[in-house]
Amino acid sequence: MAFESLSERLQNALKMFRGNGKLTEEDLKAPMREVRMALLEADVNFKVVKDFVAKVKERAVGEAIGEGLNPHQQIIKIVNEELIELLGGTQSKLTVAPKPPTVIMLVGLQGAGKTTTAGKLANYLKRKHKKPLLVAGDVYRPAAITQLQVLGEQLNVPVFTLGDKVSPVEIAQKAMEKAHSLACDTVIIDTAGRLHINEELMEELRNIKGAVHPQEILLVVDAMTGQDAVTVAESFDKELGIDGLIVTKLDGDARGGAVLSVKAVTGKPVKLIGLGEKLDALEPFHPDRMASRILGMGDILTLVEKIQSTTDLAKALEMEKKLRKDEFTLEQFLDQMQQVKKLGSLETILGLIPGMGGISQKLKEANVDEKEFDRIEAIIRSMTKKERQKPEIINGSRRKRIAAGCGMRVQDVNKLLKNFEESKKMMKRMQGMAKFASKGGFKL
Ligand code: GDP
Rounded Cα distance, 228 and 222, in Å: 9
Q: What is the pLDDT of residue 374?
A: 81
CATH number belonging to the domain at 102-297, selected among 3.10.290.10, 3.40.190.10, 3.40.50.1970, 3.40.50.300: 3.40.50.300
Q: What is the pLDDT of residue 316?
A: 64
pLDDT tens-digit map of 314-355: 666 666 666 666 667 888 778 777 777 776 666 666 666 665
Q: What's the whole-model pTM score? A: 0.74
pLDDT band at 183 (very low <50, low <70, confident <90, very high): very high
CATH number belonging to the domain at 4-86, selected among 1.20.120.140, 1.25.40.340, 1.25.40.20, 3.40.50.150: 1.20.120.140
**ipTM above 0.90?**
yes
pLDDT tens-digit map of 244-266: 999 999 988 878 899 999 999 99
**What does the pLDDT average to over 38-63?**
91
**Residues near ligand 1 (Cβ within 6 A):** 108, 110-116, 193, 248-249, 251-252, 274-277, 281
Rounded Cα distance, 44 and 37, in Å: 10
The residue extents of the domains of the chain are 4-86, 102-297, 303-438
Q: What is the pLDDT of residue 7?
A: 86
Q: What is the pLDDT of residue 335?
A: 77
- pLDDT at residue 441 greater than cutoff 50: no
Same fold, 102-297 and 303-438: no
pLDDT tens-digit map of 193-208: 888 788 989 999 999 9
Q: What is the pLDDT of residue 293?
A: 83
Q: What is the pLDDT of residue 61?
A: 84
CB 90 within 8 A of CB 37: no
Q: Mean pLDDT across the chain, nearest whole number?
A: 85
CA nearest to 347, candidates 254, 210, 285: 254
Distance 77 CA to ligand 1 centre (A): 36
Distance 430 CA to ligand 1 centre (A): 42
Report CA-CA distances (Å) from 20 to 24, 60, 71, 74: 11, 14, 6, 11
381/341: higher pLDDT: 381
Measured from the CA of 252, which atom of ligand 1 is nearest?
A: 26
**What does the pLDDT average to over 151-157?**
97
CATH superfamily placement of domain 303-438: Signal recognition particle, SRP54 subunit, M-domain (1.10.260.30)
